[in-house]
């Protein structure tokens, strides 16, 4: 992290799309080669699966210069591998993710603010994306909130609804302990008391969610925790 600019200065990961046969042990064979090159796997996903094969997406750290070409060459030599292609990493394309869950109308208004603010930052080269899912029911909302901590690159959750509490509030406290920033609309229930920040206006809540996670915005969420606007 560059202290002067607040930007992440770590080298971009090497992102690879590896087309392989779909058979037991295929993933093990790929990761064995990656281990031999001392590359660190930071993300892996089976991006596509068909009868004639699977496509595995990797993001790798500690691979630079000629080491990347050597790694790709060794992967291509495996009998199960049909093709290896470089790809832009998800962090470069979609960047940090803000997740908005709750009632449809409230979610829509939060997204208006979040997308408008994200657009300003993304034009300047940052990458912040916004994902949404309208949900009802305490169990559904709590499960969705907990799942945010498992989503790749998710950094913030906005709870946009008219009434939330109970298990949802417990889920909020759990994911905050895992580093997820949580914003809530001002609503009845215990969720606002569990969130980092409470904002009454949904559009402004979306704007502040982006500001809270942006590397270029001069907004320190730690100075506003527990407040209501």
The per-residue pLDDT for range 76-85, each reduced to its tens digit, is: 999 999 999 9
pTM above 0.85, yes or no: no
Structure tokens at 87: 């790809």
In contact, 220 and 201? CB cutoff 8 Å: no
CA distance 99 to 202: 14
Question: Which residue bears the tokens 């982006």?
Answer: 210
The β-bridge partners of 56 are: 18, 46
Question: Which residue bears the tokens 């912040």?
Answer: 128
In contact, 134 and 106? CB cutoff 8 Å: no
Q: Which regions of 80-211 does DSSP assign to beta strands (E)?
A: 81-87, 96-102, 128-134, 154-160, 181-185, 197-199
* Domains of the chain and CATH, by start: 14-89 (3.30.70.260), 94-223 (3.40.50.10550)
Which H or E run contains 43?
strand 40-50
In contact, 41 and 16? CB cutoff 8 Å: no
- Measured in residues, the chain has a length of 229
Least confident of 40-49, 129-138, 190-199, 216-225: 216-225
Tell me the per-residue pLDDT of 129-141, one tens digit each, with 9 for 90 and over: 999 999 999 999 9
pLDDT for 4: 35
CA distance 88 to 46: 16
Tell me the per-residue pLDDT of 47-84, one tens digit each, with 9 for 90 and over: 888 888 999 999 999 887 789 999 999 999 999 999 99
116 has pLDDT over 90: yes
Structure tokens at 154: 């998710």
């Amino acid at each position: 992290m560059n202290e002067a600019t607040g930007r992440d200065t770590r080298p971009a990961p090497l992102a690879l799309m590896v087309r392989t046969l779909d058979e037991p042990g295929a993933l093990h064979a790929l990761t064995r080669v990656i281990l031999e090159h001392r590359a660190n796997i930071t993300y892996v996903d089976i991006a596509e699966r068909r009868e004639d094969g699977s496509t595995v997406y990797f993001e790798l750290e500690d691979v630079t210069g000629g080491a990347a070409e050597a790694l790709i060459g060794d992967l291509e030599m495996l009998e199960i591998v049909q093709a290896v292609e470089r790809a832009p990493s998800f962090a470069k394309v979609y960047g940090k993710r803000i997740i908005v869950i709750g009632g449809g109308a409230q979610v829509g208004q939060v997204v208006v603010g979040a997308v408008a603010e994200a657009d300003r930052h993304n034009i300047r080269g940052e990458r912040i994306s916004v994902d949404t899912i309208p949900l009802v029911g305490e169990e559904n909302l709590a499960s969705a909130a907990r799942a945010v901590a498992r989503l790749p690159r998710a950094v913030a959750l906005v709870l946009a609804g008219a009434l939330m509490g109970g298990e949802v509030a417990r889920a909020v406290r759990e994911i905050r302990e895992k580093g997820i920033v949580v914003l809530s609309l001002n609503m009845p229930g215990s969720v606002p008391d569990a969130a980092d920040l409470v904002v009454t206006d949904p559009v402004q809540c979306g704007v502040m969610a982006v500001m809270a996670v942006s590397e270029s915005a001069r907004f320190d969420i730690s100075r506003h925790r527990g407040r209501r606007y």
